[in-house]
């Protein structure tokens, strides 16, 4: 089934290169990024996983866990991690789901339209596409991105989106286009001007429906 924003992610059984566990147990009380890739030992995927490994300190600062997924097996994941480390000069310490049965990919709708093939699995058919899911500590989906196999993801943008989600989580604010941490934020329409001033101190009314304020600390 397709997972929608604010849906609680199913508590799936995961087989990874770091053991077997339930998805909800892995998330725990952290923010979590689950990202799939088509195939181990392929060029674009290696650059992507290298980028994630290089951001390890940034994920930790944000109380965020990351976990990868492909339809390859546990041993392939373990072997491939050596290539990732060699290329990126950063150790990929996060687990990678070995979704050989396609159960997780099907449950989270991470396959291309023509992917439901019982055999002949290749990066061109039954491999998972490039999906990013960001889950909040309450196990709900907060953001999803889907890329084709030919386009590598920009993990600086994933990090920016994570910052925006965390800053606005439970707050009556939203982030404008191209926002980065520290810039002004948009006041939610659920607050009138007086309520917004009471909450944030001051607001800049650019249009009746577009009001900004300093990012809450």
- The structure's pTM equals 0.91
pLDDT at 149: 81
Beta-carbon contacts of residue 61 (< 8 Å; ≥ 6 apart): none
pLDDT at 182: 96
At how many degrees (to 10) do helices 155-168 and 43-54 cross?
40
45 is catalytic: yes
Which residue among 27, 44, 45, 185 is the active-site one?
A: 45
β-bridge pairing 19-22 and 96-98: unpaired
Express each pLDDT in 48-95 by its tens digit. Answer: 999 999 999 999 999 999 999 998 999 999 999 999 999 999 999 999
Q: Model confidence at 129, in pLDDT bands (50, 70, 90)? A: confident
* Of 132, 77, 9, 216, residue with least CA distance to 203: 216
Q: Model confidence at 123, in pLDDT bands (50, 70, 90)? A: very low
pLDDT at 48: 96
Q: Model confidence at 115, in pLDDT bands (50, 70, 90)? A: low
Cα 17 to the center of its chain, rounded Å: 19
Q: Is 102 left (phi over 0), alpha (psi -120 to 50) or beta?
A: left
Q: In Å, how far are 30, 76, 122 from 62, measured between CA atoms?
A: 9, 30, 35
pLDDT(121) > 60: no
List, in order of start, the domains of the chain with CATH numbers.
13-153 (3.40.30.10), 173-213 (no CATH)
């Amino acid at each position: 089934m397709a997972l929608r924003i604010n849906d609680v992610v199913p508590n799936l059984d995961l087989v990874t290169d770091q053991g077997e566990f339930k998805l909800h147990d892995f998330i725990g009380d952290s923010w979590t990024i689950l990202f799939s890739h088509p195939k181990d030992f392929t060029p674009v995927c290696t650059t992507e996983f290298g980028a994630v490994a290089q951001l390890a300190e940034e994920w930790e600062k944000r109380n965020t866990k990351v976990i990868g997924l492909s339809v390859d097996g546990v041993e392939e994941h373990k072997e491939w991690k050596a290539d990732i480390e060699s290329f990126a000069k950063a150790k990929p310490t996060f687990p990678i789901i070995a979704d050989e049965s396609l159960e997780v990919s099907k449950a989270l709708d991470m396959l291309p339209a023509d992917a439901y093939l019982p055999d002949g699995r290749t990066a061109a058919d039954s491999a998972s596409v490039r999906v990013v899911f960001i889950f909040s500590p309450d196990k709900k989906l907060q953001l999803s991105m889907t890329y084709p196999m030919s386009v590598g993801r920009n993990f600086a943008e994933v990090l920016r989106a994570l910052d925006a989600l965390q800053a606005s989580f439970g707050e009556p604010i939203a982030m404008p286009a191209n926002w980065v941490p520290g810039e002004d934020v948009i006041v939610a329409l659920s607050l009138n001007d007086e309520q917004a001033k009471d909450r944030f101190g001051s607001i800049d009314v650019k249009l009746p429906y577009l009001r900004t304020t300093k990012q809450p600390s």
